Amino acid sequence: MKNIVRWWIAVTVCFAVIDAGATILTFNGISVPNDTTMPGTYGDNVSSTGPDANGHTYGMGNAFTPKIQLAYGPGTSVRYYNDASWPTVAYLTGVAANDFTFTPDPGYGVKINSFNLIDYPSFGGGHTNTWTIYKDVAGGTVLASGTVTVPPNTTTSVTTGFGGYMGTTILRITQVTQERTDDLALDNLNFDQIPEPSTIALLSLGGLLVLRKRKV
């Protein structure tokens, strides 16, 4: 019985390590001009806090996300912004669609954990927004969603509770009501790289075989 308990603890710890490959997008180390389209290289295949080959830097969760690529859009709706009030953020200029598209390598998935929404100080309008996580294509099957209010001159944190998906995953932020459409930003986007279920099954099977061999 003790051996079984030890095996189960070991498998759980290994699973946690594999599942906890989290990157935090801080939008630091971006060298494009202020208020221009977010560079498509930011957030791709993150393996350290950086700087990476493009000079980008990141925050670390429990590990990193080297098997995931990230894209922004549609068009120029997600832009890079950096000033005294909004230091290094993703500026959301679209009302109906501000998309963050995560594309994992085969055998991996995406788990979107949390992000901050920020109202630009001094304008004073505030926002009500919906966030939606789509499966495979934007506007397709909804995996998770919610509504969040961002009061004037405030940062609001959102935790999605989304358990993850083994394929392309899209986070869409939509502005529902606002005094101004040009004073909302996103920051500290936290997401995980997760393995396919068969990886965990093989890990568990390996643990059982080792345990059986020891008993023999």
Q: What pLDDT shows up at residue 23?
A: 97
- What DSSP assignment string belongs to 131-170? EEEEESSTTSEEEEEEEEEE-TT-EEEEE-----BSS-EE
Q: Can you give the pLDDT at residue 121?
A: 87
pLDDT number for residue 122 = 74
- 3-class secondary structure, 207: helix
Burial class of residue 169, CB neighbours in 10 A (0-12, 13-18, 19+): buried
CA distances from 142 to 79, 104, 146, 171, 210 (A): 25, 18, 11, 10, 41
84-124 pLDDT tens trace? 999 999 999 999 999 999 999 999 999 999 999 999 987 76
Alpha helices in the chain (DSSP H): 2-19, 197-215
Low-confidence ranges of the chain (pLDDT < 70): 1-20, 124, 196-216
Nearest-CA neighbor of 77 among 60, 90, 62, 59?
90
CA distances from 6 to 12, 13, 15, 16, 18 (A): 10, 11, 14, 15, 18
Q: What is the pLDDT of residue 214?
A: 52
Q: Write the CA distances from 198 to 104, 167, 172, integer angstroms.
A: 16, 15, 29
Q: At what angle do helices 2-19 and 197-215 cross, to 10 degrees?
A: 160
Amino acid 180: pLDDT: 81
Q: Structure pTM?
A: 0.83
Could you give all domains of the chain from N- to C-terminal order, each with its CATH number? Answer: 23-195 (2.60.120)
pLDDT of the residue at 70 = 98
* Token pair of 75 as six digits: 């068009």
